[in-house]
A = this chain, B = another copy of it.
Amino acid sequence: MNAKSSPLLSLTPLEKTPDQGVNLWVYHSLRRALMCGQIEPGLPLTIRGLAEVLHVSPMPIREALHRLTCEGAVEVRDNRRVMVPQMTAARFKELYELRIVLETHAAESALPYCRPEHLAELERLDHLIDLAYQNNDTGEGSLANQDFHRYLYQRNPFQVAVPLIESIWLQLGPFVRFAKNKLTQHYRIDRHKEALQALHQQNAFALRRAIEADIRDGLASIQALEGIHAHFKEQALSA
């Protein structure tokens, strides 16, 4: 009996499966773990290993890993091993620029559809963010922040950018866990309030500026962390 010594992963597997298949439950569990930085980049993820950790058959794991692969959350090395990709400073910068491009566009395209009741819901979601950060729960705060942005963008019923944005979030997720210092939280301007005001005034330009500033603030609060680049793999330039 090979008692796998794999449990380098705690992997709180979300609350039990309500009704959705085992497949989706495994996917969401792994996704959550990725997003909260519970999986070490570079550590090889094996199908059978994860299957044992989550107490399911290898099949749902296989499908979840494939899905996460095509979403960019994990990558396949030389056609075999799968792992969370190493981050580089250049890729980090590209991902954040893409966030700005995509999310300012998504916000502007959602602006005409925003009704007063939606603004109320956004204020509620923004309050949840504050609560999470007051509890020093960085992971939950990050997820709540995504809920705020996602709800805004999805006001546009024809929105097609959200899956792409979520893919970017997923690629950045494993590295935001280092932003545990709430120091910058004290001094930061609440860009969400600015966004809400812009929404109220139906001011597309102000909305874009608020969203961009919000994203740049998050980036700055991460880059301000000393030693953050130690977690980035030096890029092997093969020009």
Chain A residues with a Cβ under 8 A of chain B: 63, 66-67, 70-72, 88, 90-91, 93-95, 97-98, 101-102, 105, 109, 156-161, 163-164, 167-168, 171, 235, 237, 239
Contacts and interface: CB of A to CB of B under 8 A. Distances in A.
A158 B67 CA distance: 22
Given A101-B101, A101-B102, A102-B102, 13 more contacts: A63-B66, A66-B67, A67-B67, A70-B70, A70-B163, A93-B158, A94-B158, A94-B161, A98-B161, A98-B164, A157-B239, A158-B235, A163-B167
A105 B97 contact: yes
A176 B67 CA distance: 27
A99 B239 CA distance: 28
Could you tell me the dominant secondary structure of chain A's interface residues? helix
7 contacts: A66-B66, A93-B158, A94-B161, A95-B160, A98-B105, A98-B160, A98-B164
A105 B95 contact: no
Nearest to A158: B90
Nearest to A164: B164
